[in-house]
Amino acid sequence: MLRGRVEERDARLIAPWLDRRGVAIARVELVGDDVPALVAAVRRMLDEGLEIVCVTGGLGPTHDDLTMEAVAAATGRALRVDPDALAMVRAAGQAPGLDPEVAERVARKQASLPEGARPLPPAGTAPGCLLEHGGTLIAVLPGPPWELERMWGDAVAAEPLAGALARAPAPRERVLRLYRVPESRLVAALEALDAAARDALRLGVCARDAELEVTVRHEPGAETAADALEAVLAAAFGDAIYSRDGREVDRVVADALVAAGQTVAVAESCTGGLIGARLTELPGSSRYVVGGVVAYADAVKTALLGVDPEIIRRHGAVSAECAAAMAEGARARTGADWALSATGIAGPGGGTAVKPVGLVFLGRAGPGGTVVDEHRLRGDRAAVRERAAALALHLLRVGAAARG
């Protein structure tokens, strides 16, 4: 993670969970597999008097799994084999065919906890632990996200963490999502909000993929100030506020399709399946997703989607005409109510003066006909592809809302 070769995902699980329950996040640190660096990081947090410190990763059997050793050193405790933790490791099992002596060393390493720690059952083979030190509660957890998610559920239900979380004041919060509203226009709109209402609220604004996420927090009793803010934004932006309950576009689209009893298919070129991946990420997506085609080659566009070769010859595969034909072909061949298409130049090469890198055409074929949006997207290849997928979902959202 420190070298950027592995994506950090643990904080994305823990931090929002805590934040929603009134625990303020002081910071997130990335520390390498180095005992002095780990010890220094934990001691800094202890010295600051933070109430909860979550340490993830480094619980495995290899030489660079050093977290328990570092937490023990940072708290001035001995590192000892915990009998309960050892039983957990043995119950979890080891790799088949492992030499018994090696297996025992591995088990004892993973069962070694700072003295006084309470072991947490492993999701994989390594236990975590909870440790109280001074006024700080330290949770030592695994790094792989699926293991972390499972152990986190056990950790927050166990004392003393459960008691600490129960004392946190739950904030009042609402999340508004606005589509294609620049931050500068939002700032201007907020000038209409009464100063007293503004002072009663804590606002957070996050811009991504052509939308703004506006988080509104307030103390109990300040609901009228939050209502006033929402009214101000509604007056300024109307239907551009596509979600007032925090639902992201993926969920809004899914709910609209399910409510209408409709289905969707995809035909993707430059996005390479990202639209389909987002549509199918939510549980229950089989109710509304029919399928699709990743049609990178022109021959696949013509053979599987029925795109007229003359369209490609005259206008090119990256064109509004091709995007329309792809969407219509996907809808006709799958029988879906809606179909989305994407064709463009994600880069870093392949662009021209007429069709530069970042040019993307998104098509939507549906009950009311076919619509194509042209976008000039900035960023690297990954950013262009990911933003195109998000914009495709918004294209479907607008169409489904209009039909609804």
pTM: 0.85
Quote the CA–CA distance of 118 and 131 in Å, as a whole number.
6
Closest CA to 397 of 255, 188, 238, 205: 255
Omega before 348 within 30 of 0, i.e. cis: yes
Phi-psi region of 138 (alpha: psi -120 to 50; beta: other; left: phi over 0): beta
Residue 86 · residue 104 · CB < 8 Å: no
For 199-217, the pLDDT digits (tens) are 999 999 999 999 999 999 9
Sheet of 264-268, strands arranged across? 289-294, 264-268, 338-344, 359-366, 369-376
Amino acid letter for position 150:
R
Quote the CA–CA distance of 364 and 394 in Å, as a whole number.
10
Predicted confidence at residue 404, as pLDDT, reads 66
Predicted confidence at residue 235, as pLDDT, reads 97
Predicted confidence at residue 97, as pLDDT, reads 83
Residue 142 · residue 128 · CB < 8 Å: yes
- What domains lie within the chain, and their CATH numbers? 10-166 (3.40.980.10), 172-243 (3.30.70.600), 249-403 (3.90.950.20)
Predicted confidence at residue 96, as pLDDT, reads 84
Per-residue pLDDT tens listing for the chain (404 residues): 888 888 899 999 999 999 888 898 999 999 999 999 999 999 999 999 999 999 999 999 999 999 999 999 999 999 999 999 999 999 998 778 888 899 999 999 999 999 999 999 999 999 999 999 999 999 999 999 999 999 999 999 999 999 999 888 777 899 999 999 999 999 999 999 999 999 999 999 999 999 999 999 998 889 999 999 999 999 999 999 999 999 999 999 999 999 999 999 999 999 999 999 999 999 999 999 999 999 999 999 999 999 999 999 999 999 999 999 999 999 999 999 999 999 999 999 999 999 999 999 999 999 999 999 999 999 999 999 999 999 999 999 999 988 76
Quote the CA–CA distance of 141 and 17 in Å, as a whole number.
15
| DSSP-derived secondary structure for 202-224 | EEEEEEETTEEEEEEEE-TT-HH
Quote the CA–CA distance of 136 and 129 in Å, as a whole number.
14
Torsion from C-alpha of 36, 39, 41, 44, nearest 10 degrees: -120
Q: Give residue for tokens 């991946």.
A: 277
